[in-house]
Structure 1
Amino acid sequence: MGVALGFSVGPLRAGQGRLPLLVEATEPDTSLLAVFEELKALVDEHLLRDGGILFRGFTLAGAEQFREFAASFGHPLLNYEFGSTPRSSVTQGVYTSTEYPAHQSIPLHNEQAYSRDWPMRIWFYSMLAAQSGGETPIADSREVYKRIPAYIRERFVSKGLMYVRNFGNGLDVAWEQVFNTEDRTVVEAYCNAHGIVCEWKDDGELRTRQTCQAVARHPRTGEMVWFNQAHLFHISNLQPEVRETLLDIVEEEDLPRNVYYGDGSAIEDQVLNEIRAVLDECMVSFPWQSGDVLMLDNMLAAHARAPFEGKRKVIVAMAEGFSADQL
């Protein structure tokens, strides 16, 4: 697409689609912050079309400058509320990426699409690329929507999805960590405000249920996107031996997480397998380079994580909270 002031703009891989757009420094020691105004204009022009932008070859001095870069787009950075995976705070509004063991994959998903509130924008900063693996694959959620078989799309839209979570008990993230409090009344107030049904079980642990969207219309582009985490929350996402072990320990209703159709009926394994096949078809993967920053429109682009070897450090920021009630 050409060369601008200190950087070039073009597809990451010629002939392989527009996600992500590559913006690469053309001069050594070009700071992301130093050319922010030019980059912001480029983001305003391209993010809603391309869904994601990879900034490569720029300098960025650690987590604080990453926080400054993400916050400079004009929206306060969000806290990681009602999170589904373990993360640690790095600095205000900046978190580690999901702290799962290196050998595990994380399937493609849009951040917090299992709830009715989510960030519109998300940034990833590769502070240290893994020795091998550790990619953050992405996919165009518009394309996923188009490729999902019509009968599945229609069923998901008509029924909606109900996510069930059981916190703690050594099987999943503790509710105190998820809600950043040890006060039950604070948890109840949050749930009431966000359309989440919460229940305190006899053992003192928490169960929540929330009925959410399966697809959504992007508020700015008007395009339909596949926007849920059914394939990730469903018990069929677990390895068979893990699934069997869990069901030996707890009843289905006490699984750390699961998902049903909105009326409480079971989602068929075959349906989820078809969804996973579409996601695999749409996946775009590229190796991280240390210093890379990836910016996604969280509704237009899903992201994942590949297994890795060696040390890896990717941190994350999110902004521009949005609610399904605004659609």
Structure 2
Amino acid sequence: MQLKVPQRKKIQVSSTELIKTKLIQTNSLLPLMIQPNVENLNLISWVANHREWIETHLIKHGGLLFRNFNIYHVSQFEQFLKTISAELLTYCYGSTPRHQVGEKIYTSTEYPASQSIPLHNEMAYSLNWPMKISFFCLKAASKGGETPIADSRKIFKAISPQIKKKFLEKGVMYVRNYGDKFDLPWQKVFQTTSRKKVEQFCHYANIKFNWLNDNHLRTYQICQGVATHPQTGDQVWFNQAHLFHISSLQSDIYQSLMATFDQQDLPRNAYYGDGSEIEFSVLDEIREIYQQHSIIFPWKTGDILLLDNMLAAHGRMPYQGDRKVLVGMAESFNTQQ
């Protein structure tokens, strides 16, 4: 009698079962953490097959945290972003010091480790910004260095109607002075040594400018205080008045700048769109609301945080030790088109 050898049944595994998800905080949809549910799951391949799933959950949550996917190199992060979106962006017309480390991959803002960076949406001080921004933790700091995030929809709802009304009606005017003795040099900000190219950029971006000498450029731009997300229709708080305004500086730096410069020569400042002063009390209230809605979690080396730049703000906590967090931006949105 011949014994029948039982055949192994093929187990069908849904591609979404290859990952597991959970919320970092039970009282917030932001962010959704995604981890592999099987060993050695290739994140790039999984992302390539689940772009629609990612888009849906990114809109719902505002941010996705990919953890434990064995991502340890700049090239892997770059490939991840290119798989998410074919349109990676340069950091032209930036406002903070960074260095390029890959093809359109940059260091995160290079401010001293002892300083914090307030919550903000990337390039909300302009009329053209990335819809997606992603951070890659190449090396977590030994202490601190978190990237706090906040839901821009909740920020908008929490701000008082009187403040919202002013920002909606007037917008925000950003005044910047570029030069060796001021803020970042214009060559760094506009990524060119050609004054003609700077002027062309400014004309295209609706930025007014004055050359005060060969190396001193001043720009003025009126931008939105509130924006509407093109896909969800949600109104979001979307400006950097609290960050650009002179009151955002530490007291000693504030006093030094005010003693050194006339107000129009300050490295950067923010006004209502009609040129009137923004009240310090208004900016203090805005900063307090950002603080109240801040979501903080520790980085783990290899983490990738993907944010919808309009739905989620980000910042940086002070830190100790060596910290390496990279950033990439994608999908330009232009309010003038």
| Shorter-chain TM-score above 0.5 | yes
Aligned length: 324
Assess if the C-alpha contact under 8 Å between 1:3 and 1:9 holds in 2. Answer: no
**Structure 2 counterpart SS, 1:200:** strand
Cα deviation digits, residues 3-57 of structure 1 (max 9, x gap): 93432012123x2211000101233433311322344243122111110000001
CA distance in 2, matches of 1:244, 1:195: 32
CA distance in 1, matches of 2:328, 2:27: 27
Shift of 1:72: 1.1
Please name the residue that 2:8 is paired with: none
Determine which of 47, 52, 65 is the counterpart of 1:54: 65
CA distance in 1, matches of 2:249, 2:119: 15
TM-score of the superposed pair, with normalisation by structure 2: 0.93
Q: Give the partner amino acid of 1:153.
A: K
Please name the residue that 2:124 is paired with: 113
**2:319 paired with 1:314:** no
Unaligned runs of 5+ in 2: 1-13
**2:194 paired with 1:179:** no
Greater shift in the superposed pair: 277-286 or 198-207: 198-207
Please name the residue that 2:249 is paired with: 238
Q: Give the partner amino acid of 2:171.
A: G
Shift of 1:240: 1.2
Identity of aligned residues (%): 48
**2:278 paired with 1:267:** yes
TM-score of the superposed pair, with normalisation by structure 1: 0.96
**2:112 paired with 1:93:** no
**2:274 paired with 1:254:** no
**2:127 paired with 1:127:** no
Q: Give the partner amino acid of 1:227.
A: F
Assess if the C-alpha contact under 8 Å between 1:161 and 1:212 holds in 2. Answer: yes
Assess if the C-alpha contact under 8 Å between 1:164 and 1:207 holds in 2. Answer: yes
Shift of 1:61: 4.1
Q: Give the partner amino acid of 1:93.
A: K
CA distance in 2, matches of 1:43, 1:312: 28
**2:18 paired with 1:6:** yes
**Structure 2 counterpart SS, 1:34:** helix
Cα deviation digits, residues 219-242 of structure 1 (max 9, x gap): 000000000000000000001110
CA distance in 2, matches of 1:307, 1:256: 23
| Residues 168 and 29 (structure 1), Cα distance of their counterparts in 2 relative to 1, 3 Å cut | farther
CA distance in 2, matches of 1:275, 1:320: 28
**2:207 paired with 1:196:** yes
CA distance in 2, matches of 1:193, 1:243: 33
Assess if the C-alpha contact under 8 Å between 1:31 and 1:60 holds in 2. Answer: no
CA RMSD of aligned residues (A): 1.5
CA distance in 1, matches of 2:90, 2:63: 22
Greater shift in the superposed pair: 162-171 or 126-135: 162-171
Please name the residue that 2:95 is paired with: 84
Determine which of 34, 49, 63 is the counterpart of 2:74: 63
Unaligned runs of 5+ in 1: none
TM alignment of 1:130-141, pairs within 5 A: 130-141=141-152
**Structure 2 counterpart SS, 1:72:** helix
Q: Give the partner amino acid of 2:20.
A: S
**2:156 paired with 1:145:** yes
Please name the residue that 2:33 is paired with: 22
Determine which of 273, 297, 304 is the counterpart of 1:286: 297
Assess if the C-alpha contact under 8 Å between 1:110 and 1:227 holds in 2. Answer: yes
Q: Give the partner amino acid of 1:244.
A: Q
CA distance in 2, matches of 1:127, 1:57: 13
Assess if the C-alpha contact under 8 Å between 2:72 and 2:302 holds in 1. Answer: no
